A and B are shown apart, each in its own frame.
Chain A
Amino acid sequence: MARDVRLLDHALVPEAELAAFSATHPAAGGIASFVGKVRPDEGVEALELSHYEPLTQPGMEALAEEALARWPLDGLLLIHRTGLMRAGEPIVLVAAAARHRRDAFEAADFAMDHLKSNAWFWKREKRADGWHWIEPRQQDHSDLKRWG
């Protein structure tokens, strides 16, 4: 299957997922992948990611379809965590398998920019004085404009 899109409410193990993805696409000339982790910011004790299943999953599927239509890929893997995470834990994994490296790099980059700004996730972080919701970042929106 070209597209593998999942929400995970438990630990994401990128090494195992990448090994499985690679085995699924033996004909690919290369795989580009990106692992996003919870940044260890001063004072942040935990990060919680909430989502809305009826929008989040279909939105990620549509994103995968767009990438598959835009680049000649053998496969595309999008896995995103939900729930409670601590600093250093993987939060997202994107991998693109293609005949040629440029397509794999670009598709993974495209998918990450869209996940960071457009996907249906709400984040809050826990500090000593309690939980704080995280507002959208302008940088994420300007990153999206790269793709026209």
Chain B
Amino acid sequence: MSVKLVFLGKLADLSGAPETLVPGPLDWEGLLTALPGPLGEGARGDKVKLAVNGKLLSDKTALSAADGDEVALLPPVSGG
């Protein structure tokens, strides 16, 4: 088991793939460590939000994901 990271919008371009698996459990520091270079900088950006299993986090640094969870990295939406 592991934690699935899902990248949306331009973050998918930076990661080179829409999804990746990382070992759980995963906290904020662990997430940044798992995301090298521009992807990590992107995740750190004020406007990027995190959702765990479809629930938005009000404070992304409080991330606490376990094996089997899905963490989505969400840049600002462009609108419909």
Contact = CB atoms under 8 A, between A and B. Distances in A.
B51 to A, nearest CB: 6
A28 B29 CA distance: 55
A148 interface: no
Interface string B54-80: 101000000000000010101111111
B80 A54 contact: no
A55 B79 contact: no
Where chain A touches its partner, the secondary structure class is mixed
Interface of B: 6, 8-10, 12-13, 51, 53-54, 56, 70, 72, 74-80
B76 A118 contact: no
Contacts, number: 64
A117 interface: yes
Interface residues on A, range: 20 to 34
A137 interface: yes
Contacts of B74: 52, 55, 120
27 contacts: A36-B80, A49-B80, A50-B8, A50-B12, A52-B51, A52-B74, A54-B53, A54-B70, A55-B51, A55-B56, A55-B74, A58-B54, A80-B80, A115-B79, A116-B79, A120-B77, A121-B77, A121-B78, A122-B9, A123-B78, A134-B78, A136-B76, A136-B77, A136-B78, A136-B79, A137-B79, A140-B79
9 interchain residue pairs of minimum CB distance: A54-B54, A122-B9, A123-B78, A115-B80, A134-B78, A116-B79, A133-B10, A119-B80, A121-B80
